[in-house]
Structure 1
């Protein structure tokens, strides 16, 4: 498992580096660029059975240096996103069902105080992908619960959007004014009966909102 540049125009793939080659059980999972164009990502324990927190969180700088972040290991890293000013980082280990946040220096990338943002008992399902809107609220897809939940910067639940699919996996804003919220869904491990009961599982959902998203930061590093 590793990182690479992909050219949309030519289809060429240029490998950058391997990640956790010494831990065969892990692979890359969730990631997002911070406001300075550095790619922050976490790992996934792909072993069957109970998930141990084996993988770390990392940052690929624009000069292609890889740094392991001083965050606790995760079994299923998810929900990586940043506040509008870039001074807070959110992340989750889906296996623990909690979303965390920490202080994040937008210039040096230094990690500050960590705390629980949304606890495991505060919301149903597992937190999968997340994104931040222009008001600084976090939108969380709730795997297993069929819901999108919007949380205020203080962790307060603001609203819930029900989806006709039990496994929503990641939200993203789009459209000309970034007021359209998209959500991917899956049907991992669902039986034929479950699929029949939720036939839209695996679909891409779209909804118009009264809030707007933020443009996603792009990675500013270049191939060697």
Structure 2
């Protein structure tokens, strides 16, 4: 729970999907088809919701997947526990594209997002969140490169609208970092620096950047999404109807609503009873506009 002196904004919130996720993560939105996608990592499920119709389809997966990027109208790129896969939307078939720490069964994929250039950043972590077991990679021109190592729980990967800055967090350390990038490639040109150190209730989790460059970060265990300025000032905190808020994504025709996933991982029966909407997926009317997610680029332009 948040502290007694912490003010949370209450905004209109609705349940987009009442099916509970053990570990809901990786939401993204395809504006062209008006479709939101997200995962239950631990239960190996992919959720697909047509927003206008509020119709949700749940796809069972053969691997543990944490994030996706849109390739084109018929294909997605999935970040899974042993590699990157191309998924056909027509029949759900998966084809291995590249291995990702496939020689290390102790790790899995976690947070990921596409840079405006089409470069895909992907984090890995220990399956038991072991200290320093994870890393962050970039898929650029069809090749995976490790950018940063010795990360425990990579989260909050997102990018400034101009593509010149990346953000990421190590949830265990509760530090949000900033990295200067080459906007044309989405690759770092400097070492990461601390932007914000979170103290108090909850932990930094997934994030997305709005049209004005504000960073919206789900606070795991805090029941909220926090908004940070590009220079690391917390601007507001918006209540989420579940304590384990995990990751946001802007959705809707004008990208003015915030989809937020949640989880019940690690909650005992008493904690779940005290948090009746645990694991559900929500839409918040936060009163700001996001940006359309770029498509991933698998080869040279």
TM-score (norm 1): 0.92
Q: Tell me the residue number matched to 1:205.
A: 282
Q: Tell me the residue number matched to 1:68.
A: 146
Q: Tell me the residue number matched to 1:115.
A: 193
CA contact (8 A) 2:85 2:96 kept: yes
CA contact (8 A) 2:181 2:190 kept: yes
Q: Tell me the residue number matched to 2:85.
A: 4
1:148-173, Cα deviation, whole Å (9 max, x unpaired): 10001111011011222110011010
1:103 to 156, 161, 180: 180
Mapping for residues 153-192 of structure 1, pairs under 5 Å: 153-192=230-269
CA contact (8 A) 2:198 2:204 kept: no
CA distance in 2 between counterparts of 1:146 and 1:74 reads: 24
CA contact (8 A) 1:131 1:139 kept: yes
1:55 CA drift (Å): 1.9
- Name whichever structure is richer in strand by fraction: 2
CA contact (8 A) 2:257 2:287 kept: no
Q: Tell me the residue number matched to 2:95.
A: 14
Q: Which runs of 5+ in 2 are unaligned?
A: 1-81
Q: Secondary structure of the residue that 1:219 maps to in structure 2?
A: coil
1:178-204, Cα deviation, whole Å (9 max, x unpaired): 101111111111111111111101111
TM-score (norm 2): 0.69
CA contact (8 A) 1:37 1:219 kept: yes
CA distance in 1 between counterparts of 2:183 and 2:175 reads: 24
1:124 to 186, 195, 201: 201
1:64-113, Cα deviation, whole Å (9 max, x unpaired): 211111x2421111110000000000011111111111101122423314
Q: Secondary structure of the residue that 2:178 maps to in structure 1?
A: strand
Q: Which runs of 5+ in 1 are unaligned?
A: none
* Two-structure CA RMSD over aligned residues (Å): 1.5
Tell which has more relative contact order, 1 or 2 (C-alpha 8 A, sep 6+): 2
Answering whether residue 134 of structure 2 is matched by residue 55 of structure 1, we say yes
CA contact (8 A) 2:179 2:188 kept: no
1:33 to 105, 110, 114: 114
| Runs of 4+ that moved beyond 3 A | none
CA distance in 2 between counterparts of 1:155 and 1:72 reads: 23
Number of positions where the alignment pairs a residue of Structure 1 with one of Structure 2: 217
The farther-off stretch of 203-212 and 73-82 is 203-212
CA distance in 2 between counterparts of 1:80 and 1:154 reads: 16
